[in-house]
């Protein structure tokens, strides 16, 4: 494991921020939640549509807050989120196709999207990727890969700082510059949450993230965790930009099952 200098670190941060797939994409996934003090895993279905615009990455999620039960298909309306990443991130939500998207603001950005998971709008936004104040902290082993670590520091007047986040450490793959892990620190310097990319997979000629685990940490111990596991993926798509515009209230696109690779 070799250290890099400040100039090389800045190049890698810039390269990571500019990374994207070729074309748009759609993932069918499951959220796998492991509650505190329980060995039981609770699963929820979801669909993710992804693209990029002049502001940065933009995603739309359909999340089904009904537990996945073997042999039982439950028809429920999804919770839908539109997540605009970039320097000025925003998130909108609606609870049914008949509703309009509403912007999520202030403290609600740090609350779970629905009961049963620990993912919050903040976790989906990942605003820390674009914070300008950061320091290089050297290399480390991250799940058998070498990651170069950077401590991203929130602007003083930001919502993150007001919410008690003192910094976020990100680890970028030493070879491909992709994100390997995230660690969020509170004002006392202790870890509040950990976000780890567990695996990648090549789909239709492009590498995608297959599995992510977000863990809630208290006093150095994992309290609960929610995994994001891709079950089917289709890349190289082209979406109408209206589906990512909260003012349009457009329905999510219907994509043929034949276009998906099952993972």
DSSP string, 164-223: TEEEEEEEEETTT--EEEEEEEETTS-EEEEEEEEEEEEETTEEEEEEEEEEEEETTEEE
Out of 42-46, 67-71, 221-225, least confident range? 67-71
For the segment 162-173, the average pLDDT, to the nearest whole number, is 96
Whether residue 144 lies inside any domain: the answer is: yes
Tally Cβ neighbours within 10 Å of residue 80: 22
Whether residue 244 lies inside any domain: the answer is: yes
Whether residue 159 lies inside any domain: the answer is: yes
**pLDDT of residue 77 exceeding 90:** no
Tell me how far apart the alpha carbons of residues 98 and 100 are, in angstroms, rounded to a whole number.
7
- With b for 16 or more beta-carbon neighbours within 10 A and e for fewer, the 14-38 pattern comes to eebbeeebebbbbbbbbbbbbeeee
72: exposed, middle or buried (Cβ count in 10 Å: 0-12, 13-18, 19+): exposed
pLDDT tens digits, one per residue of 116-149: 899 999 999 999 999 999 999 999 999 889 999 9
Higher per-residue pLDDT: 25 or 142: 25
Whether residue 19 lies inside any domain: the answer is: yes
Q: What is the pLDDT of residue 253?
A: 95
Range of the domain at 229: 6-257
| Tokens (6 digits) for 147 | 């990651």
Q: What is the pLDDT of residue 74?
A: 59
Q: What is the pLDDT of residue 40?
A: 86
Q: What is the pLDDT of residue 10?
A: 96
- Cβ atoms 43, 70 nearer than 8 A: no
- Cβ atoms 95, 66 nearer than 8 A: no
Q: What is the pLDDT of residue 168?
A: 98
Under the banding of pLDDT at 50, 70 and 90, the label for residue 67 is: confident
Whether residue 152 lies inside any domain: the answer is: yes
Non-local CB neighbours of 150 within 8 Å, separated by 6+ positions: 9, 13, 134, 135, 136, 137, 169, 170, 171, 172
Tell me how far apart the alpha carbons of residues 148 and 1 are, in angstroms, rounded to a whole number.
9
Whole-number average pLDDT of the chain: 93
Whether residue 162 lies inside any domain: the answer is: yes
Residue 168: phi, psi to the nearest 5? Answer: -135, 120
Out of 25-34, 35-44, 50-59, least confident range? 35-44
Q: Which CATH number does the domain housing residue 169 bear?
A: 2.50.20.10
Higher per-residue pLDDT: 36 or 9: 9
Percent of the chain with pLDDT over 70: 97
Whether residue 252 lies inside any domain: the answer is: yes
**pLDDT of residue 165 exceeding 60:** yes
Tell me how far apart the alpha carbons of residues 155 and 71 are, in angstroms, rounded to a whole number.
49
Q: What is the pLDDT of residue 223?
A: 87
The residue written with tokens 């004002």 in the block is: 187
- Cβ atoms 58, 83 nearer than 8 A: yes
Tell me how far apart the alpha carbons of residues 48 and 59 are, in angstroms, rounded to a whole number.
7
Tell me how far apart the alpha carbons of residues 92 and 102 are, in angstroms, rounded to a whole number.
5
Number of domains in the chain: 1
Q: What is the pLDDT of residue 89?
A: 94
Q: What is the pLDDT of residue 96?
A: 87
For the segment 67-71, the average pLDDT, to the nearest whole number, is 75
**pLDDT of residue 39 exceeding 90:** no
Whether residue 1 lies inside any domain: the answer is: no
């Amino acid at each position: 494991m070799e250290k890099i200098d400040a100039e090389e670190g800045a190049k890698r941060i810039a390269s990571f921020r500019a990374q994207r797939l070729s074309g748009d994409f759609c993932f069918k996934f499951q959220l796998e939640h492991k509650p505190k003090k329980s060995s039981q895993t609770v699963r929820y279905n979801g669909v993710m549509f992804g693209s990029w615009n002049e502001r940065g990455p933009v995603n739309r999620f359909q999340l089904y807050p009904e537990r996945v039960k073997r042999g039982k298909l439950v028809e429920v309306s999804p919770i839908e989120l539109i997540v605009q990443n970039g320097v000025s991130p925003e998130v909108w939500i609606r609870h049914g196709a008949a509703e309009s998207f509403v912007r999520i603001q202030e403290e609600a950005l740090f609350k779970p999207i629905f009961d049963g998971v620990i993912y919050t709008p903040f976790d989906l936004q990942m605003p820390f990727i674009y914070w300008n104040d950061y320091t290089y902290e050297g290399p480390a082993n991250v799940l058998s890969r070498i990651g170069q670590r950077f401590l991203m520091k929130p602007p003083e007047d930001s919502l993150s700082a007001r919410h008690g986040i003192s910094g976020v450490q990100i680890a970028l793959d030493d070879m491909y510059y992709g994100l390997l892990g995230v660690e969020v620190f509170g004002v006392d310097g202790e870890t509040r949450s950990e976000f780890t990319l567990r695996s990648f997979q090549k789909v239709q000629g492009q590498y995608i993230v297959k599995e992510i685990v977000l863990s809630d940490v208290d006093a150095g111990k994992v309290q609960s965790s929610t995994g994001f596991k891709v079950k089917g993926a289709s890349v190289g798509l082209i979406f109408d930009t209206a589906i990512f515009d909260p003012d349009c209230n457009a329905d999510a696109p219907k994509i043929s099952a034949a276009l998906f690779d099952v993972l």
